[in-house]
Structure 1
């Protein structure tokens, strides 16, 4: 197996929940040594559920391959231990409450003054300034605050996006920033600070609705399984009750769809449907026509026609369908002595492991880490 790109890099992660652990787990996948700092009771994500052989699905997912040490940072002794760990780290990540690390004496600017090659990454809810910067921030709250829920789902009661999208995106952005900072350090010899917030990450996802609302005709409505500005692009039901989503992206695809799926080549030049703009304006008539055709086709027949026309489509699957999906790549992982199949990383590399390294128990590596990173007598933060 090829060597991993981050071998020799030590990451210290004072982290909890999802965003920071997501980032540090991907650094661990790339070969970094990740030391996770937990409270004595552990990262509270350990208690989110017990779905995976008694372990939390969240914790198993984003804490693989790490070492765990439990520290009480109200204790002078444990703060000295954290100082000893920081002194040997290349990257320090934290997502505690706003100002918490500074009050403890581990603010990022201070740490970089003490250790000029250190890269620091602070993940917060709303950043470090502004009127809401001290507001508590969890994924669903940021989905609501950023407007994500206002453009998602179908008309009717509000609904959350079904995964922790703000946390995940913030973790990805932190990963990007840290990787860039590591490259920059190779050039300059100095570390730098990376700052990521869940709100900024969500706001960036909202760029298209934002620009449409600020400079165009307005933000898109909640349209369910439709696209607010492309048609046809949505869900249709076949005669056997199975549903699929199809998408037309350009006029060549539209002409082929009309000829080979609808068996109505004349529809392509109908003035109501002759361009995406007018198709979107006449969506009700367009979708009524398509529904009538699909109502006379089984799912298999519809797929045959869509394939012949080279029209993009996808089945509307359940989570159990995903488990059985022929394209799903998984990787085994040890959880409490049993094997769990976990979705593989969404990128394939030459240095991928065949098995995910298990997530650590609380303070599982504490004794070994205390011996390795011994506190110098009288050391202070």
Structure 2
């Protein structure tokens, strides 16, 4: 597939989510991505079989790649992999801690023979520190970084419903690769990039952390209530409908009170006259607003919110997302037939998404072995 990264060769010794996320986005941008799979395949291929027999995670994260099965414990296969890396622009790996060092696939060894090579090591906690040797999976890192403690209901912590730690590590790795590719045009040399699940999520946890360190109290778990902005939560209308509203400033607060709730006196109530007071008095605030929403059906509430230009959304299910009028789709071919994926969130004016096929396990074994044979 043509794109801004056309001509860039990526070799990715990958599994699961974080590294495949990174390499799939490089493939979307036109890079040639060779996915190195263990003989039994990336274990994400077997997470489930809901997509016509294919795994949902796998079809999402492996479009546009070539698949070759290699056993790096086999001397000939390891030599083949190293010949690929010599010709590569980018090498990505997210194996268990310490594995790459045993096989001479660490960044220092690889870049000593290919100065233009950009290497990306994705791990749970990085190469140094007391956690360096620990395995790390998404929910473990959600727990370790405190994310689970600011997520969920007041009664108990919860897991964010998608693999945010893996995705964050992949996204940060992607940013690093793009920066390194640009810098290489100036210096002629590649770089070594480290991206970890822990560091990626710790960055996303900065606001709760600052509240803890400077305010002496981390935000509590509030379900659908924002911890530091109010009202920013869900309300139920008289017909059982639900709307989620967000008030970001004083102008919006006054508009909500005057044009939606039709209770202008509420805006200057000493308990609610600014955001700090509204957060401190969240329960009586919610009760006041809820009582007024109960006098409306959902269509009336939506009408008033639109007229007042108050930001709001629906409390949708995943089934609602499937038919959402704003959702864009792109069809990609898989070994089990076409798959209707969400289109890329990155849009370029005048261009249309094109995803290349999702490979079967070892689909490119023969062609790649011939291409990178020891000649």
Q: TM-score range by the shorter chain?
A: over 0.9
Partner of 1:242: 241
Work out whether residues 334 and 360 of structure 2, in 8 Å CA contact, stay in contact via their aligned partners in 1: no
**Partner SS state of residue 346, structure 1:** coil
CA offsets, 1:345-379, max 9 Å, x none? 11212585544222111110011011111124xxx
Work out whether residues 344 and 353 of structure 2, in 8 Å CA contact, stay in contact via their aligned partners in 1: no
Give matches, 1:286-325, under 5 Å.
286-325=285-324
Work out whether residues 343 and 353 of structure 2, in 8 Å CA contact, stay in contact via their aligned partners in 1: no
**Partner SS state of residue 129, structure 1:** coil
How far apart, CA to CA, are the structure 2 residues paired with 1:217 and 1:83? 51
Asked if residue 57 in structure 1 is aligned to residue 56 in structure 2, the reply is yes
**Partner SS state of residue 243, structure 2:** strand
How far off its partner does 1:153 sit?
1.4
Give matches, 1:44-83, under 5 Å.
44-83=43-82
**Partner SS state of residue 231, structure 1:** coil
Aligned length: 375
> Using a 3 Å threshold, how does the CA distance of structure 1 residues 164 and 351 change in structure 2: closer, same or farther?
farther
Work out whether residues 334 and 359 of structure 2, in 8 Å CA contact, stay in contact via their aligned partners in 1: no
Asked if residue 349 in structure 1 is aligned to residue 364 in structure 2, the reply is no
**Partner SS state of residue 193, structure 2:** strand
How far off its partner does 1:191 sit?
0.6
> Using a 3 Å threshold, how does the CA distance of structure 1 residues 216 and 354 change in structure 2: closer, same or farther?
closer
> Using a 3 Å threshold, how does the CA distance of structure 1 residues 354 and 228 change in structure 2: closer, same or farther?
closer
How far off its partner does 1:47 sit?
0.2
Partner of 2:159: 160
How far apart, CA to CA, are the structure 2 residues paired with 1:213 and 1:188? 42
> Using a 3 Å threshold, how does the CA distance of structure 1 residues 141 and 213 change in structure 2: closer, same or farther?
same
Asked if residue 100 in structure 1 is aligned to residue 102 in structure 2, the reply is no
Partner of 1:17: 16
Q: Where in structure 2 are there 5+ consecutive unaligned residues?
A: none
Partner of 2:89: 90
Work out whether residues 52 and 335 of structure 1, in 8 Å CA contact, stay in contact via their aligned partners in 2: no
CA offsets, 1:124-158, max 9 Å, x none? 00110101111110000000001000101111233
Partner of 2:331: 332
After TM superposition, the score normalised by the length of structure 2 is 0.98
Work out whether residues 60 and 358 of structure 1, in 8 Å CA contact, stay in contact via their aligned partners in 2: no
**Partner SS state of residue 152, structure 2:** coil
**Partner SS state of residue 157, structure 2:** coil
How far off its partner does 1:83 sit?
1.2
Partner of 2:366: 367
How far off its partner does 1:204 sit?
0.5
Q: Greater CA deviation, 98-107 or 347-356?
A: 347-356
**Partner SS state of residue 230, structure 1:** coil
How far off its partner does 1:80 sit?
0.9
Q: Greater CA deviation, 236-245 or 23-32?
A: 236-245
CA offsets, 1:218-237, max 9 Å, x none? 10000111011111110100
Work out whether residues 20 and 61 of structure 2, in 8 Å CA contact, stay in contact via their aligned partners in 1: yes
How far off its partner does 1:304 sit?
0.3
How far apart, CA to CA, are the structure 1 residues paired with 2:281 and 2:199? 36
Partner of 2:266: 267
How far apart, CA to CA, are the structure 2 residues paired with 1:260 and 1:360? 55
List, as ranges, runs of 4+ consecutive aligned residues in structure 1 with deviation greater than 6 Å: none
How far off its partner does 1:13 sit?
0.2
Q: Where in structure 1 are there 5+ consecutive unaligned residues?
A: 377-381
Greater relative contact order structure (CA < 8 Å, 6+ sep): 1
Q: State the Cα RMSD in Å.
A: 1.2
How far off its partner does 1:269 sit?
1.2
How far apart, CA to CA, are the structure 2 residues paired with 1:166 and 1:22? 12
